Amino acid sequence: MDKLQEVIKYLKGKKVRFADAREHLFREREIYTEDTRVERITEQNVSGVGIKVLYENGWGYASTSAKDPASLKKAADKALALARHADKAADGRVELAAEPKHVAKFATKIKEDPFELEISGAVGALLEAGELSLKGKDVIKANAYLVLRNMRKKYANTEDSLIETDVFTVLPEIQATARANGEVKSRHYWPAPMNAGYEYFRGIDFKTNARRIAAEAREHCFAPSCETGPTTLVLDPEHLSLTMHESVGHPTELDRVLGYEESCAGRSFATLDKLNKFKYGSDIVNLVADNTLEGGLASCGYDDEGVECQKWHIVKDGVLSGYGVNRELAHKLKMTRANGTTRATKYSDVPITRMPNLYLAPGKKPLSFEELIADTEDGIYIEGMGSFSIDQMRLNMQFGGDAFWAIKKGKLAGMLKNVTYNAISYEFWRNCDAIADERAFRRAGFITCGKGDPMQAAQMTHGASPARFRNIMVRRAK
Ligand SMILES: [Zn+2]
């Protein structure tokens, strides 16, 4: 019998209602280059076992970096003792949604394991991108960045599930900074972060993009400021990924909605009374949660509650239609099953409800990006992410961007600078009147989504086709 199953058997003998044990390896390599030198390379290799116990109506969690049977038993005893204490203060019965027994394996499809390769190849590619950016006129700084991750887990619970997962993640980024015309402006190229092998990194065209961002950083220095006032925005997939993350993804985490999570990034306006009624966006807005998305950063086969990853709508035809739901809170929605989006970042972290892969579904009518711009008389096109803020109920939001272009008479007409816009989150999505079709769909995503206390950084993919939003208040940043 596996050592995790041994500890589960031990806890079953202690009359727990539920328990699971998760052996969890978190390996991460980060490479930063600055100009033509390596700025730093860091490596984390953290592993251990986390054990969660439900005793009557109290939860306990304990973890250990030592994986021998005696240490596991000690951690199990500690989790059990904590659960017994918690039970004394329990407020009502814990209802745990059922989940079928899974004896399964899941692995990211990779060709090359990045941790098996010499680091020099990746360093060389980043430095070459930096060199090319620095050849651009007035470019004063080039930065490049690569994160490689491997999360390997083994999971066992009192329902006899035994699940092994092996997930690889690649996240690259390059940036150029120019100084000209009394301004300093940066521009980045951020290929979609993917759950993939090293072959994904090899396939990225840094050369063309290093030259492009160098030129655009300089052009940005000469761009006029935008006008303040309501206007039409066309937003690119990378920009939209941050907008949907903050105004849709976080407000629809059910623990946040119900007040179980508040300390990091607040609560939510998207309360349960609004489910299947509230107009979150216009009729063409469909926001899809999909932890089965191949290569998605949150695609891990099974979550850290032993629940199979799933696909569901958060917003369907403009209406709020779902949340990210764990096993404990599913009954609040009369759901018979959680939707498989509870994750922990490291072995010592308690699994919590995390944002799934979340994307804006492409428009159903044929519409290319070029046709979308041509159909827009006047407005601003924004690419990439910049500064942002949103209030503690996830209503009043403000976003910048990485680069901005004026749209005049259906054409991109030169860059703008100092563009920010603000909106109430659901009014923003209600003002979406066109979405390009699937040909223009691109992915983006995060590996640094902070939640919990102590904070855990989780990863998830976003995606969209460029989309148009009417009557959005644009302000000139100072
Ligand atoms: Zn986040």
Between the CA of 81 and the centroid of ligand 1 the distance, in Å, is 33
Please state, in angstroms and rounded to a whole number, the distance separating the CA atoms of residues 54 and 61: 9
Q: What is the mean pLDDT of residues 67-82?
A: 97
Which pLDDT does position 1 carry in this prediction? 77
Please state, in angstroms and rounded to a whole number, the distance separating the CA atoms of residues 151 and 257: 29
Q: Do 461 and 193 touch, CB atoms closer than 8 A?
A: yes
Which pLDDT does position 227 carry in this prediction? 95
Between CA 132 and CA 138, with CA 134 as vertex, the angle to 5 degrees is 135
Between the CA of 449 and the centroid of ligand 1 the distance, in Å, is 4
Tens of pLDDT, residue by residue over 184-224, are 999 999 999 999 999 999 999 999 999 999 999 999 999 99
- When pLDDT is cut at 50, 70 and 90, the band that residue 263 belongs to is confident
Task: Kindly report the CATH number that applies to the domain delimited by 3-221.
Answer: 3.30.2290.10
Tens of pLDDT, residue by residue over 274-291, are 999 999 999 999 999 999
Q: What is the mean pLDDT of residues 31-45?
A: 97
Cα separation values, 197 from 25, 171, 362, Å: 17, 11, 27
CATH 3.30.2290.10 maps onto the chain at 3-221
Write down the residue that tokens 């892969």 correspond to. Answer: 357
Which pLDDT does position 278 carry in this prediction? 98
* DSSP label at residue 101: -
- When pLDDT is cut at 50, 70 and 90, the band that residue 478 belongs to is confident
Please state, in angstroms and rounded to a whole number, the distance separating the CA atoms of residues 285 and 287: 6
Between the CA of 457 and the centroid of ligand 1 the distance, in Å, is 8
- Residue 265 pLDDT exceeds 80: no
Between the CA of 460 and the centroid of ligand 1 the distance, in Å, is 9
Between the CA of 455 and the centroid of ligand 1 the distance, in Å, is 11
Tens of pLDDT, residue by residue over 384-431, are 999 999 999 999 999 999 999 999 999 999 999 999 999 999 999 999
Between the CA of 463 and the centroid of ligand 1 the distance, in Å, is 15
Contacts of 262-266 with C-beta under 8 Å, sequence gap 24+, read 263/453, 264/450, 264/451, 264/452, 264/453, 264/455, 265/392, 265/450, 265/451, 266/391, 266/392, 266/393, 266/394
Which pair of structure tokens corresponds to residue 363? Answer: 């428009």
pTM, whole model, 2 decimals?
Answer: 0.97
Q: Whole-angstrom distance between the N-terminal and C-terminal Cα of the chain?
A: 64
Please state, in angstroms and rounded to a whole number, the distance separating the CA atoms of residues 268 and 259: 8
- Residue 147 pLDDT exceeds 80: yes
Q: What is the mean pLDDT of residues 433-444?
A: 98
- When pLDDT is cut at 50, 70 and 90, the band that residue 312 belongs to is very high
Please identify every residue whose CB atom is under 5 Å from ligand 1, which is an ion.
449
Mean pLDDT taken over the chain: 97
Tens of pLDDT, residue by residue over 332-384, are 999 999 999 999 999 999 999 999 999 999 999 999 999 999 999 999 999 99
Q: What is the mean pLDDT of residues 426-437?
A: 98
